[in-house]
Structure 1
Amino acid sequence: MIMKKVWKSVLMLIATLTLSFPSVMPTVQAATDDSNATSSSASSNKLAEIKAQGKLVVGTSADYPPMEFVVKKNGKDKIVGADIMVAKKIADDLGVKLVVKDMSFDSLLVALETGKVDMVLAGMNASPERKKSVDFSHTYYHGGNVFLINKSDAKKIKSGKDLAHAKIGAQTGSLQYQMVKKNMKQATMKPLDNINNLVLALKTHKTQGIMLDSLIAKAFVANDSDLKMVKDIDMPDNKSVGVAVAMPKNNPDLVAAVNQTVDEINAKDLMNKEYLPAAGKQMEKVNVKKTMWDYKSFFLKGVGYTLVIAATSVFFGFILGILLSLMRLSKVKVLHAIAVVYIEFIRGTPLMVQIMFIYFGIGSLISSLPAMLAGIIAISLNSGAYVAEIMRSGIQSIHYGQTEAARSLGMSQKMTFQYVVLPQAIKNIWPALGNEFITLVKDSSLVSTIGVAELMYQTQLVQSTTYKGVAPLAVTMCIYFVLTFTLSKILSYYEGKMSHHG
């Protein structure tokens, strides 16, 4: 009936979508070819591949001062720290350019195994468990672990024994997390993937202590008078296994080359004589008492990325939603089944998982897939499933008698759908579509987990830079409110216009 004619319009829509990606499609094809080459060479010589590309892609989690953190230099964000200096020396020794990718700590090994990065330098301990999935260089830093507590609790917490039954925080996937889990079985674990969030949980008394490397703990204590270190943690395996460079399995040439650089760093004691002192000076420059206004450039950059992600995802999510709703309403069983399976699957899985699957899963086949593009694709695909159901309900809300009346007046099926059914359907579902768009703006914050510099990512950078947990979050909440409130008013305005014309 109507749907058979409408499919001509749908096919035109698909053609339009295809043509809207002229610059992306060749890139994807080239990336696919590169990925095939990568997969064949990864097991033979990763070192040769890095030299051929002329760049070394290093993954890190820039919330771990003085090992890796972010400063503002010449108006731009720059990841610095002792680990980054080690990475720079490795790149220089290999004769290639250094490229640093920032993402959450617990995503780093996944990024390494899927080829998104060539190696990981993130204060990562070369533990036996990690050695099962990746190879490590020789260690270049050894530190001990301590508990970080609130100074107000110092009288009752003097050693690790006093935290035996407490709530303990540790970074997800870290050696400290494994240590607490193994040695403090009566304690309640409160793992988080971000050091700043761990410290915030401690300061708001969600936990009584967090385990950190002593070097990182010193950095927080030096910049926050409310915190204190407890060095006596009373654990037999407290001795650090050592921080090292993580690399893909079965690449002996790469490991040998990196070890040559690490051995030189150790022989000259560069970590203690140059890298850590230099990182300390960079921290001193950014840790001057400042207000949140001084970090407005961070927040403005985050807003810009958030708006781009949201606007692009709304556009493609809306088009995909229309396509899926027509497929679900179709009498063609195959199309109907595809739409149902897609919609139910997308609505039944978390957006966070979808983002990570697109970036790390699909991204392992298309190695050049940028994090931002992966985030936009994931959010668009997710939004399309919800928009499809909203559109379907709107189309089905229009009485079939109106279609018959339009046809009796000589209108074609396409014209009937375009000028009678669709306008009324959109008018009926406009509030629901508005809610979906507002939700999408907020959901864009999830792409920060793969290193996209949107608003939440920038907030975490401000937290790392200022050692303040609550103030940056308060600013971010206000910014999100302004964005969503403005969008809500715009949508309400057009809703009123449609009601007036109706």
Structure 2
Amino acid sequence: MIKSKSHGMIVPQLCLLVMVVFGGMMAARRACADDQTLNRIRQRGTMVVGTSPDYPPFEFQINQNGKQTDVGIDIEIAKQIAKDQKVKLQLKNMSFASLLVAVQTGKVDMAIGGINPTPERAQNVDFSKIYYSGGQSFLINKSQAGQIKSKKDLEGKKIGAQSEALQYTLAKKNIPKAQVTGMEKTPDLVLALKTHKLDAVGVEKPVAAAYTSNDPELKEIDAGYQLGKNDVGAAIAVQKGNPAMVRALNQSIDRIHQQQLIPGYIKQAGKHMKANTQNTSMWHYWKYFANGVQYTLIISVVSIFFGIILGVLLALLRLSRFRVFRWLSISYTEVVRGTPMMVQVLLVYFGLGVLINIPALTAGIIAVSLNSGAYVSEIIRGGINSVAKGQTEAAKSLGLNASDTMRFVILPQSFKNIWPALGNEFITIIKESSIVSIIGVTDLVYQLNVVRADTYRGVAPIIVAMVIYFVISFILTRILNFYERSMNHG
């Protein structure tokens, strides 16, 4: 779906917020520069390309010698562009909704992912010329092939497409009385189609071919749209004010077309998809899930550690005699608790990226730690207040100053009181940290979506991820309960 591919109603809007606050400033600054992007790429010898590898046959992953490897039509095009510039290719994976923000804030040199160069997108980034044009199709259940033969038969029916995508707009515009439903990912749409929640799903022709060749229950029909020049084609996005970079990309695209390389890219992508679907058992993808668990636990453990440190600091500031300290603590806590973690993750990764290039994993840990600190501070403040005032008076009678009283008397007792609440916060962090997948951290949810895209199985990867989350939470709960009993008997 020449992207067509867009993730959800909320995610693009949140990304737009970050783009307006930080990306606009960055784009304006670079637009005034002397178009140095291409020179920087050549000087460092590496071209950083953003993509979202959950969209076969354009970009997806395969298990190659035990390593997750990005492949697909767009990946081959990116390789050719890097080869033409005599530099190495470095792929940076993230959600599609984050790609244009990454371009604007300089996280990547360019973004490729079947991006349709709409006039709205062209206001924020520059585009190369079209490198691939494909027609529009609908996926339907083969059992309904007799009733649905063309878009005319879809009038008044339920049609699915990726939210705010080209296919979504085309269905709204061209099919009278259709009930068009937007979802975040194509595998979700196909699952809704197969469970008869939708009558058809609008996709790009290569995507339709990929699904029908790997799922005998699906059938492709031509969309029959009368398409304008802005309704077809995929282009490469670069930062505003980079004409030399655009010219270099266009030269590579011209060379690719002259040498007729794209048919070969499509054929190669088909081979990879066929290899992926030869064994779609979840055990075959155990390394994907294991890698996701590893990153999920790293983020959770490190974030709760720093969250507790920050929480103690904020709680002490909140209880301070100085009004300015109390105001700072209250303000921080209210802002963090009053905004979605998704916005905070985007803000840290892309917002701070204006000043310093933070890796996705580090940005995810920082964002989750800052979020956790606000909640932990309230838990700790409640624990401190739960300690009887007589404990403070007893400490004073023993000659302890305020600092030692807090350190040796109040905090140890308060932590004993709040242990269950801290345990719940840890478990919550394990589950909510999945939001970092939006910036390309390969946690469990990220790997879940990759497996769904590679295997064309909508439900099985979800069940595996649910079981893994449950097992982690169950084991952690038992460990926390054990230490809670130990403290109570201590």
| TM-score, normalised by the number of residues in structure 2 | 0.90
* Aligned counterparts of 2:417 and 2:221: Cα–Cα separation in 1: 61
Aligned length, in residue pairs: 464
8 Å CA contact retained: 1:127, 1:241: no
**Cα distance, 1:291 vs structure 2:** 1.5
* Aligned counterparts of 1:249 and 1:156: Cα–Cα separation in 2: 48
Deviations 1:90-111 (A, max 9, x none): 0011111101111111221111
8 Å CA contact retained: 1:141, 1:243: yes
**Cα distance, 1:382 vs structure 2:** 0.4
The sequence identity of aligned pairs, in percent, is 51
**Counterpart residue number, 2:186:** 195
Once structures 1 and 2 are overlaid, which stretch shifts more, 409-418 or 215-224?
Answer: 409-418
**Cα distance, 1:492 vs structure 2:** 0.5
* Aligned counterparts of 2:225 and 2:39: Cα–Cα separation in 1: 46
- Secondary structure of 1:121's counterpart equals strand
Map of 1:147-296 to 2, 5 A cutoff? 147-184=138-175, 186-234=177-225, 237=228, 240-272=231-263, 274-296=264-286
- Secondary structure of 2:453's counterpart equals helix
Identify which of 77, 100, 105 aligns with 2:91: 100
* Aligned counterparts of 2:51 and 2:151: Cα–Cα separation in 1: 29
* Aligned counterparts of 2:337 and 2:188: Cα–Cα separation in 1: 29
* Aligned counterparts of 1:67 and 1:378: Cα–Cα separation in 2: 31
Deviations 1:150-189 (A, max 9, x none): 2233333222233333333222343223323433474344
* Aligned counterparts of 1:328 and 1:362: Cα–Cα separation in 2: 27
8 Å CA contact retained: 1:112, 1:120: yes
8 Å CA contact retained: 1:47, 1:254: yes
Q: Tell whether 2:389 aligns with 1:400.
A: yes
* Aligned counterparts of 1:484 and 1:178: Cα–Cα separation in 2: 41
**Counterpart residue number, 2:18:** none
* Aligned counterparts of 1:373 and 1:172: Cα–Cα separation in 2: 29
**Cα distance, 1:65 vs structure 2:** 1.1
- Amino acid paired to 2:343: V
Q: Tell whether 2:54 aligns with 1:68.
A: no
Deviations 1:59-116 (A, max 9, x none): 1111111111100112111100111111001001111110111111122111111111
**Counterpart residue number, 1:144:** 135
- Amino acid paired to 2:108: V
8 Å CA contact retained: 1:105, 1:194: no
**Cα distance, 1:146 vs structure 2:** 0.9
Deviations 1:209-268 (A, max 9, x none): 221101111101111112121214455559852112121122111111111110011112
Deviations 1:294-326 (A, max 9, x none): 111111111111111111101001110111111
Deviations 1:106-145 (A, max 9, x none): 2211111111111111111222332222222222211111
8 Å CA contact retained: 1:158, 1:232: no
8 Å CA contact retained: 1:127, 1:175: no
* Aligned counterparts of 1:44 and 1:481: Cα–Cα separation in 2: 51
- Amino acid paired to 1:342: Y
**Counterpart residue number, 2:324:** 334
Once structures 1 and 2 are overlaid, which stretch shifts more, 189-198 or 290-299?
Answer: 189-198
| TM-score, normalised by the number of residues in structure 1 | 0.88
Q: Tell whether 2:342 aligns with 1:352.
A: yes
8 Å CA contact retained: 2:190, 2:201: yes
Please list every run of 5 or more consecutive structure 1 residues that lacks an aligned counterpart in the other structure.
Answer: 1-34
* Aligned counterparts of 1:340 and 1:184: Cα–Cα separation in 2: 52
Identify which of 99, 107, 118 aligns with 2:109: 118
8 Å CA contact retained: 2:30, 2:240: no
- Secondary structure of 1:245's counterpart equals strand
CA separation of 1:463 and 1:336: change in aligned 2, threshold 3 A:
same
* Aligned counterparts of 2:93 and 2:118: Cα–Cα separation in 1: 22
- Secondary structure of 2:113's counterpart equals coil
**Cα distance, 1:199 vs structure 2:** 2.0
